[in-house]
Structure 1
Amino acid sequence: MAAPSLTPSTAGPARPASPRTAGPPPPDGRFARSLRRNLTAHGFLIGAVVCFAVFSWYPMIREFALAFQKTGNGGTRWVGLDNLETVYHDPAFWQAWRNTLLFTLLALLLGFAVPFVTAIVINEFRHGQGYLRLLVYLPVMLPPVASVLLFKYLYDPGYGLLNELLGFLHLPEQQWLQDPGLSMLSVVIASTWMNMGGATLIYLAALQGIPGELYEAAELDGAGLLRKVWHVTVPQTRLVLSLMLLMQVIATMQVFVEPFLLTGGAGPEGSTTTVVYLIYQYAFNFNNYGAAAALGLLLLVLLAGFSAAYVRLSRAGDE
């Protein structure tokens, strides 16, 4: 048997294996979770933006285009400012603006003052404020149709509670919704009752943020309730009052539901025809969508000015 050779091998030392080309390292668990979380958030955000674009931006763009178009059996054609001219020369246009401004003025006198006074009264109570807040907010929670039926009963010329009360006091009965001179005021009263709850709670929150030391100092100076309200409450809530005033102007300029449900929209001799109801008439009664869009565009421009003032006041309050 041959002995194994003891001659050293001439082969060199073994070379280390060359490393394989590797790609980017896989993301760790934290990065993957963050990526999935961001993708989910962006997915929800994209869905919200798409819905907002479809149901808000597109109608606004379409309305702007429709204000300068004429629609009919022959299709759609551009007519320039003809729709604006048609609206401008319509006598109902000026009556609608007068009625809307009258509603806004009356609604500010009642809908601005009544919630503020109510908030001051509630703030004076040391106990039971929660029940009072709930009681004030109840009309807001009622469906508008139910509130309108209630006021139709109150205003009914035959068996309404208001005329029953006038008869008990030996005063002449009134045609609350049938008299052109009373119909708008009657609508404003109903609207104030239906919508005052939210404003009252906002004013109440502002009042409860006023330091009590200011009222104590005013009492030491001999100030009564009215002087405390004028010299302490009003200055301390000036920003909230200004913002609420602008919000109420914007809301009342768009009034539609209350006149439509109480008086059918137009009211006796057109006394409750508002701008938004006239837009409704142009679109659905007269099939003049171009005129409706033109009038809506005019209202949009006006409300944009109030909205800009509201945003500016809001920023001033934040600063």
Structure 2
Amino acid sequence: MTSERPKVRPPYSGGASPASRRDKLRRKLGDNALGYLFMAAGIACFALFSWYPLVRGVILSFQQVNFVTDPIWVGFDNFKAIFDDPLFYTAWWNTLKFTVLALILGYLVPFAIAVVLNEIRHFKGFFRIAVYLPVMLPPIVVVLLWKFFYDPGNGLFNTVLSALHLPTSDWTQSPKMSMISLVLVSTWANMGGATIMYLAALQNIPGELYEAAELEGASIWQRLRHITIPQMRFIMLVLLLLQIVATMQVFIEPYQLTGTTNPDTITVMVLIYRYAFTVNNDFGLAAAMSVLLFIVLGVFSAVYLRVTRDKD
């Protein structure tokens, strides 16, 4: 009787050999080479047009730069100079007023329009296009159009008021009406995007909820309060944060309608423009102001990212 020889197990090598791992990695890189090439091109463009200006702007905020003489390192002197400028506080106050007024109109009006559009059964496409149309116009075209409306001489608004035997207004030059005039332009030009987003959220609300509420005898306001608004809390919060970030960067409306010298409508972005191109011709001051604005907007952006991450 012959005894079977015991099988000898090969020693454990801990996985594939280094040569096979290198071959596998080489094949993987070769298969994805085109994808890595496109990704590298995208990262390069993003770094050139986004990261580099950001880093360069921070560096400029610590220098005196007028592009006539060589840059001079001044440390925090630029920040001290803008804090000593009375227009610094005026610009932030005007920006805050514009943001609050723009949120009152630009946040509530699109929501109300979306609710109405959601209830319309006929010509829905026409009304949605009509609401969204201003968004498709270039901002400068919108501002020039409203500049004609606000013209104190032969403008559309004053012509209508005169025909109705009502007092006319200087609109953009009046201390009481100038800021409201800017907010009306901004709201009309941008509410289409928010309205469409609200409308999309409304259409995602289950219809069974409204049917059950109607069977219980709930009124329109009760359905709005207990169904519509709770179901849209997330999108309303996201749009609130996005509108704060957008409205605090308002520039075209005050620049074109009221100029850079009107103390009633000068905003942070207009003051940055003044520092860089008109009064001071110092890009260091403009960069320092931009860094402060970046910090403020960064806080709201961080809140926005946190909110969307928690929702996900």
> Which residue of structure 1 aligns with residue 171 of structure 2?
176
Deviation at 1:126, TM superposition (A): 2.2
Deviation readout 1:268-288 (Å, 9 max, x if unpaired): xx2111101111111111211
> Which residue of structure 2 aligns with residue 279 of structure 1?
272
Q: Which whole-Å CA distance do the structure 1 matches of 2:65 and 2:230 have between them?
A: 53
The runs of 5 or more residues in structure 1 that have no matched partner are: 1-23
> Which residue of structure 1 aligns with residue 285 of structure 2?
291
Please say if 1:81 is aligned against 2:76. Answer: yes
Q: Which whole-Å CA distance do the structure 1 matches of 2:198 and 2:283 have between them?
A: 41
> Which residue of structure 2 aligns with residue 128 of structure 1?
123
Contact 1:67–1:293 (CA under 8 A) maintained in structure 2: yes
> Which residue of structure 2 aligns with residue 62 of structure 1?
56
Residue identity opposite 1:313 in structure 2: V
- State percent identity of aligned pairs: 52
- The number of aligned residues is 289
Residue identity opposite 2:218 in structure 1: A
| Corresponding residue to 2:35 among 38, 41, 46 | 41
Residue identity opposite 1:211 in structure 2: P
SS of the residue 1:119 aligns to: helix
Residue identity opposite 2:267 in structure 1: T
Residue identity opposite 1:272 in structure 2: T
> Which residue of structure 2 aligns with residue 155 of structure 1?
150
> Which residue of structure 2 aligns with residue 12 of structure 1?
none
SS of the residue 1:292 aligns to: helix
> Which residue of structure 1 aligns with residue 138 of structure 2?
143
The runs of 5 or more residues in structure 2 that have no matched partner are: 1-19
Deviation at 1:76, TM superposition (A): 2.1
Deviation at 1:114, TM superposition (A): 0.8
Contact 2:182–2:254 (CA under 8 A) maintained in structure 1: yes
Please say if 1:313 is aligned against 2:307. Answer: yes
Deviation readout 1:167-224 (Å, 9 max, x if unpaired): 2322111111121211110011011000111100000000001111111222223222
Residue identity opposite 1:122 in structure 2: L
TM-score (norm 2): 0.88
Q: CA 1:266 to 1:246, structure 2 compared with 1: closer, same or farther past 3 Å? A: farther
Q: Which whole-Å CA distance do the structure 1 matches of 2:227 and 2:261 have between them?
A: 43
Q: CA 1:102 to 1:208, structure 2 compared with 1: closer, same or farther past 3 Å? A: same
Residue identity opposite 1:97 in structure 2: W
> Which residue of structure 1 aligns with residue 213 of structure 2?
218
Q: Which whole-Å CA distance do the structure 1 matches of 2:134 and 2:37 have between them?
A: 39
Q: Which whole-Å CA distance do the structure 1 matches of 2:287 and 2:170 have between them?
A: 35
Contact 1:203–1:240 (CA under 8 A) maintained in structure 2: yes
